[in-house]
Amino acid sequence: MKSIHIFSAAFIGLFFLSAQLTAQVDMVWETHRVGFKVPRGFVVDTNTGEEFSAGNDNVYLTISPIQDENITTDDLVDLVDVMVKEMDYDLVTDGDAVNVQNFTGYYARGSKDGANAIVMALLDPSSATNLIVVVIYSGDFEDAALATVNSFFSY
């Protein structure tokens, strides 16, 4: 009976450790008043008005603004398609409309030489700041990449 309690305690401990390692934390780009969630351990590489980039060994995020109050969702579809072609991905798996918090836009996913990416353009209807988001991730970290791109919000 004692071994069952030890096994149960060990299992619960591993569960909590696993949850801590995969937990997402809040991050913001103050310059453009946008927030999002990233995996623990993200380190900011660049934080300027023109680019925000951060990552860890498995997921890397880059955001760039597009200042244009007249841009439309159709423009973003074209922009994402051009970016994916310029990145020369071997395989583009899908692309579709995006509705994330108060953003709308378009995304496409692709892969090349074992690296995977999500390219997304987001339209902020309450400002002239729109975003280009690129998340590059290794194969086992697709869930973390998807959680990141689905967490964007403006404030």
pLDDT, residue 89, reads 81
Indicate whether 17 pLDDT > 50. Answer: no
> Tokens 């305690």 map to which residue?
9
Residue with the bigger pLDDT between 2 and 125: it is 125
- Is position 66 within any domain? yes
Residue 1 domain-assigned?
no
Give the structural domain span for 53: 24-154
5 within domain boundaries: no
Average pLDDT over residues 105-129: 91
How many structural domains compose the chain?
1
> Which residue has better confidence, 46 or 77?
46
- Provide the 8-state DSSP code for 127: S
CATH number at residue 77: 3.40.1000.10
Averaged over 32-59, what is the pLDDT?
96
In a domain, 2, yes or no: no
- Please give the C-alpha separations between residue 93 and each of 48, 109, 116, 117, in angstroms, as whole numbers: 32, 6, 10, 10
Structural domain contains residue 116? yes
For residue 11, being part of any structural domain is answered with no
Give the pLDDT of residue 15.
Answer: 42
Pick 21 or 123 by higher pLDDT. Answer: 123
- Helix locations, the chain, DSSP H: 2-22, 73-86, 142-149
Give domain status of residue 89, yes or no.
yes
Q: Is the pLDDT of residue 12 over 60?
A: no
Instruction: Quick: pLDDT tens for 51-105.
Output: 999 999 999 999 999 988 889 888 989 999 888 888 888 778 788 999 999 899 9
Q: Write out 46-66 in H/E/C secondary structure.
A: EECCCCEEEECCCEEEEEEEE
Residue 123 domain-assigned (yes or no)? yes
